[in-house]
Amino acid sequence: MKLDVEALFRERLHRFTAEVVRYGQYMANGSVLMVAVFLCGLLAYYYPSLVRSIPAGFPLPYALAVVFAIFVTRSPHRTFLVEADLLFLTPAESGMARYFQKTQVYNFAVQSIGLFLVMLLCLPLYRGTLAGGGVQGWLYWAVPFVLKGWNVHASWIAMRLPDKRQRAAHTLGRFGFTFFLLAWMLGEGSFLVWRHVPYGAVVWMALLVWFHVRLQRMGKRHAYQWYQLLEMESGLRRRFYQIAGQFRDVPSLRQRVKPRRWLMWVARLIPYRTANAGRILFLTVFLRSVDQAGVYIRLVAISALLILIMPGLLAKVAVAVLFLWMSASQLKGVGTETRHRGRSSLLPLSEQQQRHAAMWVRRALLLAQTAVSVLASLL
């Protein structure tokens, strides 16, 4: 029986789209979205004055080229692979080319949306200081997307490289290549021109030939690196769940853990006592969780920074309260993750003890944030 990769791709894409729609609804309902809209409004308000404040001598075309090149070069590959595919799809490896073509198209489309938004955001900068009319305007919109397509294609082939360092070097090469062309385009052909010879273009041509030869060889010499494809897929999927997890509990979001030895003194502050077992447990679990503690630490840092730079006591208090509220809603998850997943029988802690301990940890963390906010406002 022949594997119908078209149907397989449709089915996988459909399943993911259904998830996006489901979590999208939660996001649209969530209050975090309100905060995001508020911050966007703030940005829109200050943006024109920011554009005006750029000094005349600033090499804006090349700065824009760097920003665009980052977004054009970064081409992660969603493949919708699952672990069982290592067993079931690897025998059909040669037939998978068609499937992966489709995933490339998908990745190009999704990443182009992000690129488009970045370019839209930078348009006022471009319009305000550079010429940007006629053919040049068309080039502004066309070239990055053509380069994006090439980057998706080239990085897909480079995914066959078994060595991570080789892949990183390849990515760096692609970045240089992309930057050269973008700088040349945004600089209206003046990039690396010396005595009327456009060296930028010459270097770019040389790079293009080199890349072409390299990619041809890579495609022939190496097979798909299934484990790396799977690792990338699960990383990207986890990222999606993490974002969704800011709005809603995501059951498939397995907690990631970091040792964080530099932070563990905090948990050791709590003395050894039977009544403290639950508190130590939940605080340790919290401090080691990548997602929960990561978000909390970022919220504390950002709020401290904003309090420092905001003028007037009222604004400082408003920021402090807003961020405390965000932390509080984020910290609701403390303890729940630990209590579920069948681990509650590991230690003889009653349901009530666990609830109290989780509450205690949440309060302690909010108190710590308040202390940081007060300190920042006094500075």
Query: What residue ranges bind other proteins (CB under 8 A)?
Result: 255, 257, 259, 272-274, 276-278, 280-281, 284-285, 288-289, 338, 342-343, 345-350
Residue with tokens 């975090």: 32
Neighbours of 175 (CB within 10 A): 17
Residue with Cβ nearer other proteins (77 or 288): 288
Q: Which residues contact 78 (CB under 8 A, 6 or more apart)?
A: 103, 106, 107, 110, 233, 236, 237
Minimum distance from residue 346 beta carbon to other proteins (Å):
6
Burial class (CB in 10 A: 0-12, 13-18, 19+), 313: exposed
Minimum distance from residue 86 beta carbon to other proteins (Å):
20
Minimum distance from residue 359 beta carbon to other proteins (Å):
18
Minimum distance from residue 333 beta carbon to other proteins (Å):
14
Minimum distance from residue 127 beta carbon to other proteins (Å):
50
Rounded CA-CA distance 252/111 in Å is: 24
Neighbours of 100 (CB within 10 A): 18
* 194: phi then psi, degrees, rounded to nearest 5: -135, 125
Residue with Cβ nearer other proteins (133 or 259): 259
Residue with Cβ nearer other proteins (94 or 345): 345
Rounded CA-CA distance 267/108 in Å is: 45
Radius of gyration of the chain from its Cα atoms, rounded to whole angstroms: 25
Rounded CA-CA distance 288/298 in Å is: 15
Residue with Cβ nearer other proteins (276 or 370): 276
Rounded CA-CA distance 188/182 in Å is: 10
Residue with Cβ nearer other proteins (285 or 295): 285
Residue with Cβ nearer other proteins (343 or 363): 343
Minimum distance from residue 164 beta carbon to other proteins (Å):
20
Residue with tokens 């403390």: 334
Rounded CA-CA distance 82/233 in Å is: 8
Residue with Cβ nearer other proteins (181 or 285): 285
Burial class (CB in 10 A: 0-12, 13-18, 19+), 196: exposed
Residue with Cβ nearer other proteins (143 or 331): 331
Minimum distance from residue 262 beta carbon to other proteins (Å):
14
Minimum distance from residue 272 beta carbon to other proteins (Å):
5
